[in-house]
Structure 1
Amino acid sequence: MNVRIEPSILSADFVNLEAEVARIASADAVHVDVMDNHFVPNLTFGPQMVGRLQAVSAIPLDVHLMISDADRWAPGYAELGAFSVTFHAEAATDPVAVARRLREIGSRAGIAVKPGTDLTPYLDLLPEFDQILVMTVEPGFGGQSFMADMMPKVAAARAAIDAAGIDVWLQVDGGISLDTIGEAAEAGADTFVAGSAVYGADDVEVAIGDLRAAAGAHRH
């Protein structure tokens, strides 16, 4: 099974984002964290910045919306041309309708759950999504410690995806490093968001390769 590494530009230099995205050419996607200071207690950027990133990035954008009222706002990010748009289950009134709209526009549709949210109700809806994101920290800030107690949730998602026999990516986001990526891969994740583990490294391309190898060594 493929291992995908997606560096989070939350850990990049915001003044030089075009150059920062160019540095991670071997990554599978750029993870773009959109925060509204409402759904999470932090503010990053919105459609204008994502649109510019879309215009200059040589690799796909995986937009993670940590914003309220996903039903209203998520489709706009798909319209910008993002490869994938992930919204939070806690912020959507009708997650299936949002996912269908994203796909209709042309993006992959992802659904994310916070650490305290039960994933079980969404596992029956798996065919409606292209990606499940299990947060391994509380969303809102980079640099937090990995929550190993989320691994049973990852494992349950992997079992449901495999049982359904469908191609749904299983993503983890939060505290992913060389020390933790193996555990997440062992639990069944195949798509890994890493911020400081990539952008804090002396050589970002080596860091991406090391993370990919470490995850691959633990995949079943």
Structure 2
Amino acid sequence: MTFDRSIKIAPSILAADFANFGAECEAIEAQGADWVHVDVMDGHFVPNISFGPTTCAAIRPHIKGIMDVHLMIAPVDPYIEAFANAGADFITAHVEAGAHIHRTLQAIRGAGAKAGVALNPGTPASAVEHLLDITDLVCVMTVNPGFGGQKFIDMSDKIKTLRAMIGDRPIHIEIDGGVDVNTAPTVAQAGADVLVAGSAVFRGGSVSNPGPYGDNIRAIREAATGVYV
């Protein structure tokens, strides 16, 4: 997995057709998605329930590229091995989800996955300052986690601070929440390189009509890069 800071679009399957996850993953990749983002919610850490490691294992054969698993759960540590075994390339845990995030990141790497750490809107960038040497991705939440389709919260200053803190380390900055053609330029200019988008990608399309997925992905990428694709 070669590191680069080019803009990557990571559609969240939380906005996909739950009855067609495998086909939806294949469709978004065929239409230009760089990563597939899987939002895992437990109804405890966040006020919603989505899916678990068995779903990840079921869709893994349908994903050629990166499966990016975002754990909005607490506790995290008991489930790391299951998600790693399910084929997660990245496993991201929230700094707010437990008292020992450093240990959690060590465990994720120990299980063979790339380690991500997520920050809720109310959590400062400084919370991950001493975690960067064992981190592969920092996810900046631009909504309060728990539901798709929420209004974007501008975290540009936090993103810029993180980008400066990261320096030349091979660490991705991912943005999750309210990303669309209007907000993508803001986060990209601040220093983000992985843009998670749910409804903004899946809107207007379907497994039987995937063309709009590609149109939406290209539009977000163009807005983020300023380059027509």
Common fold: TM-score over 0.5: yes
The SS at the match of 2:174 is: strand
Identity %, equivalent residues: 41
Partner of 1:215: 224
CA distance in 2, matches of 1:71, 1:16: 29
Within-5 A mapping of 1:14-33: 14-25=18-29, 26-33=32-39
Q: Partners in 1 of 2:165 and 2:67 — Cα distance?
A: 26
1:198 aligns with one of 198, 201, 216: 201
Hey, what's the Cα distance between the residues in 1 that align with 2:101 and 2:133?
A: 12
Gaps of 5+ in 2: 206-211
In structure 2, the residue matched to 1:7 is 11
Distance 1:59 1:81 in 2: 11
Query: What secondary structure sits across from 2:226 in the alignment?
Result: helix
Letter in 2 for 1:37: G
When the two chains are superposed, the root-mean-square deviation of aligned CA atoms in Å is 1.4
Asked if residue 141 in structure 1 is aligned to residue 155 in structure 2, the reply is no
Mapped contact 2:41–2:72 kept (Cα < 8 A): yes
Aligned residues: 215
Moved more, 205-214 or 80-89: 205-214
Report the CA distance shift for 1:75/1:92 in structure 2 as closer, same or farther (over 3 A): farther
Q: In structure 2, which of residues 159, 166, 173 is the aligned counterpart of residue 170 of structure 1?
A: 173
Instruction: Tell me if structure 2 keeps the 8 A contact 1:75–1:98.
Output: no
Is 1:96 aligned with 2:105? Answer: no
AA in 2 matched with 1:145:
K
Q: Which residues of 2 match residues 81-160 of structure 1 at below 5 A? A: 81-148=87-154, 150-160=155-165
Q: CA deviation at 1:58?
A: 2.2
Q: Deviations over 1:92-118 (max 9, x none)?
A: 332122112211222110000111112
In structure 2, relative to structure 1, the CA distance for the partners of 1:93 and 1:72 (3 Å cut) is: farther
> Quick one: distance in 1 between partners of 2:78 and 2:99?
10
Question: Structure 1: how far apart are the matches of 2:204 and 2:169?
Answer: 35
The unaligned stretches of length 5 or more in structure 1 are none
Counterpart contact for 1:65–1:74, Cα < 8 Å = no
1:79 aligns with 2:85: yes
SS in 2 for 1:24: helix
Contact 1:71 1:93 in 2 (8 A): no
In 1, are the aligned partners of 2:23 and 2:62 still within 8 Å (CA)? no
The residue identity in structure 1 corresponding to 2:160 is A
Distance 2:76 2:131 in 1: 17
* CA distance, structure 1, for counterparts of residue 104 and residue 122 of structure 2: 22
- Residues 1:56 and 2:65 aligned together: no
Q: Deviations over 1:40-92 (max 9, x none)?
A: 00000111111111132223210000001112223321122211100111113
